[in-house]
Structure formats: C-alpha cells, structure tokens
Structure 1
Amino acid sequence: MTAAQEDLVQATPQNEFTEIGTPRVEDGAAIWRIARDSEVLDLNSSYSYLLWCRDFAATSLVARDADGEPIAFVTGYVRPARPEALVVWQVAVDHAHRGRGLAGVLLDTLTAKVTGGQGVREIETTVTPDNTASDRLFTSYAERHGAPLAREVLFDGPLFPEGTHQPEVLYRIGPFSA
C-alpha cells in the first residue's frame, strides 16, 4: 500500500467498510443497484453487471460493509488495443457511505493491484462535463500520484442514439513513475 493509500484509509472511518476485495457474481445485483441509485452513471443492464463480476473480476473491486454487503465498487478492464492502459468503467459509492474518500481508496487499491502484476502504466476513463464528483475523483487521483492528466472528447454527444447524451470526455492519467 502506498503512502497515499494509507492516508486515504486513515481518513475513512473504520466502520464504513470491513473489506475491499474481488467482486463475485452474487454481487452483480447489488452493484447494479448502487449504479442505478448513483443518478449520474449510465445504467447498464443487470445482466451486464453479472457478467462484469464474472469476466472482469480481476480488474474490479467491491467494498463491503460489516454484513458483507457491497457498499461501493469500481469496475475496469485492461484495454485490448493498449494493454498498458486500465480503463476504469464505473466507480460508485452507496449514498449512505459517500463523502468519506471510499471511491479514492477503491481507485488507489485497484490501480496498485493492476500496475504491479499486469503491466498497466496508465488509466483511462470517461467523464461527462456535468459529473463534478468524477472530475474531482480523477483529478485528485492524478495529483496524489504525481501523474499527468490529459483530457479530450472521446465521444461527442450526437454519437449517442438518444440525442441528449453529453459528450464523454476521455481522462488519460499516466504514465505512472516507477
């Protein structure tokens, strides 16, 4: 664990979560509910969250409460065309556990895990312009890790079929120093 991760864990109340670990298929429904209740994430089908917990568990994490129930998650995958890049798909924290740094702890823990053994040197994610919480999360992540952050529009709004979607801005953070 890096010094930055230790600082985040110390800033997080001990009773907020008891475990951060690999998601299980059985967590898919709870992860779907957390994403739905976030009111800012694009909600995928419940089936996709089950698949995510099965097929991308090695590049995802879930935080559990004292009863073992998921209260937060981060999902990601190593990009096939750029295996040095971890794409962070979604990060969400249950309403009752927000504002305590848990999303940052999950992001730091996941990237520490994949940069160590999988050759990942940077992360990519997309954020819509109105998602200030995600902007703060990824901007502070880059600052904590002393990594450059570049932003550019990846998918402009008119590309989405519903015609009302905001642009998805690509955040590329890294490369991380050795």
Structure 2
Amino acid sequence: MTTEGSNTTAITLRKAVKSDGFRLHQLVAECPPLDPNSMYCNLLQCSHFAETCVAAELDGELVGFISGYIPPQQPDTLFVWQVAVHEKGRGQGLAKRMLKAIVARSVCREVTHLETTITADNEASWALFRSFARDLGAELKYHEHFAKEAHFGGLHDSEFLLRIGPFTKTGPFTNPVS
C-alpha cells in the first residue's frame, strides 16, 4: 500500500487486470478532456498490456490509471498511451508515482526512454512529464507527430511526440510495485 500526499489517504498501486477494463472506461469518462477509447480497447489495455499499465485504487475505487506499452521496434522505450487521475486522486503526485511504478517493473528492465503524445494545450500533462524528466535528470525533446489536418482531418488538435531519456533505474525506482 502506498500513502499519498500529506494526508493519510491510502492509494494502492498495482498491475492492471482484465476486470479493470470497464472501470477504466468509466474513469476516463469522468476525467475530461481525456479522449475516450472503446470499452473493448480498454479491455485489451487491461489484459494484453497489463504488465505496462498501472491501476491506482482508493477504498476499492479506481482513481488512477496509466496505460502504456513497449513498442516492438523500440524495446528501450515505454510509450505512455493515457494518464487518468480522478479528482479524488489529484494533488497528491499520483500520476508521477504511477509512471515510476511502471518503469520500475522487470518488464521494463531494458527501458531507458519514455514517449507519449500530448496536445499543445494540455498543461497538466506537460507539467507531469517535465517533472518526471527533471526527477530523472533526463533530456526531454518533442516535435509535432500527428498533425491536426494531415492525421486528424481537422477534428483533433495536433499531438506532439515527447521523448524523455536516456535515464537509468536508480533513485526514484527503488520501490517497484507489482
């Protein structure tokens, strides 16, 4: 069990399980402006990619979730697909703790870089990943990856590919979560 923040609220971090799929779908719906995925996609995230996802629970309720995977062509990279933190888990550094928990896992033993995509206006995500890079003393680079017109038909803002690394697994990775 992990105690978050300055209060005594206990948030447990653990690997995703298949039964989290529906709960993840509900969590994302409660965390605008996150893009919802299909429930089937959430089920796949929680089963096929469980080793590189983390669920955060508070009194049996899913209050945080990070989905990610290791791209087959980049075994040194964890790609973070989505970060969701319910209002009940905010303000406690939960998102960064979840990131560190995934990277600390044995499945990520070869991981030296983290990638994600973020829209320009998503200040919370930019702050999270900049802070994560600072904690690791790692370089952060980014460039436009999916363009609004070329890739989203003008229906979604451009996404910037952010890359952090290289980093090593010392310091913040000393307490892996199963």
> Structure 1 length normalisation: TM-score?
0.87
**Cα drift, residue 163 of structure 1:** 1.7
Find 1:11's aligned residue among 5, 21, 31: 5
Write the letter of the residue equivalent to 1:149: L
Write the letter of the residue equivalent to 2:75: P
Find 2:35's aligned residue among 15, 31, 42: 42
| 2:58 maps to 1:65 | yes
**Cα drift, residue 110 of structure 1:** 1.0
Alignment partner of 2:92: what SS? Answer: coil
Q: 1:11 to 1:81 in 2, by over 3 A?
A: same
Q: 1:85 to 1:12 in 2, by over 3 A?
A: farther
Give the aligned CA root-mean-square deviation in angstroms.
1.8
Deviates more, 1:144-153 or 1:27-36: 27-36
Partner Cα separation in structure 1 for residue 45 and residue 4 of structure 2: 30
Alignment partner of 1:38: what SS? Answer: coil
| Counterpart for residue 128 of structure 1 | 119
Find 1:108's aligned residue among 93, 100, 103: 100
CA contact under 8 A between 2:53 and 2:65: conserved in structure 1? yes
**Cα drift, residue 84 of structure 1:** 0.6
CA contact under 8 A between 2:146 and 2:152: conserved in structure 1? no
Q: 1:117 to 1:125 in 2, by over 3 A?
A: closer
Partner Cα separation in structure 1 for residue 8 and residue 110 of structure 2: 32
Unaligned runs of 5+ in 2: 170-178
**Cα drift, residue 141 of structure 1:** 0.4
The correspondence of residues 1-178 of structure 1 with structure 2, limited to 5 A, is 11=5, 13-17=7-11, 19-66=12-59, 68-113=60-105, 117-177=108-168
| Structure 1 outlier segments of 4+, above 3 Å | 9-14
**Cα drift, residue 11 of structure 1:** 3.2
Write the letter of the residue equivalent to 1:103: A
| Counterpart for residue 3 of structure 1 | none
CA contact under 8 A between 1:153 and 1:168: conserved in structure 2? yes
Alignment partner of 1:172: what SS? Answer: strand
Write the letter of the residue equivalent to 1:108: K
Alignment partner of 1:29: what SS? Answer: helix
CA contact under 8 A between 1:12 and 1:102: conserved in structure 2? no
Greater share of helix residues, 1 or 2? 1
**Cα drift, residue 96 of structure 1:** 2.1
CA contact under 8 A between 2:29 and 2:36: conserved in structure 1? yes
> Structure 2 length normalisation: TM-score?
0.87
Q: 1:40 to 1:10 in 2, by over 3 A?
A: closer
Write the letter of the residue equivalent to 1:123: L
**Cα drift, residue 40 of structure 1:** 1.9
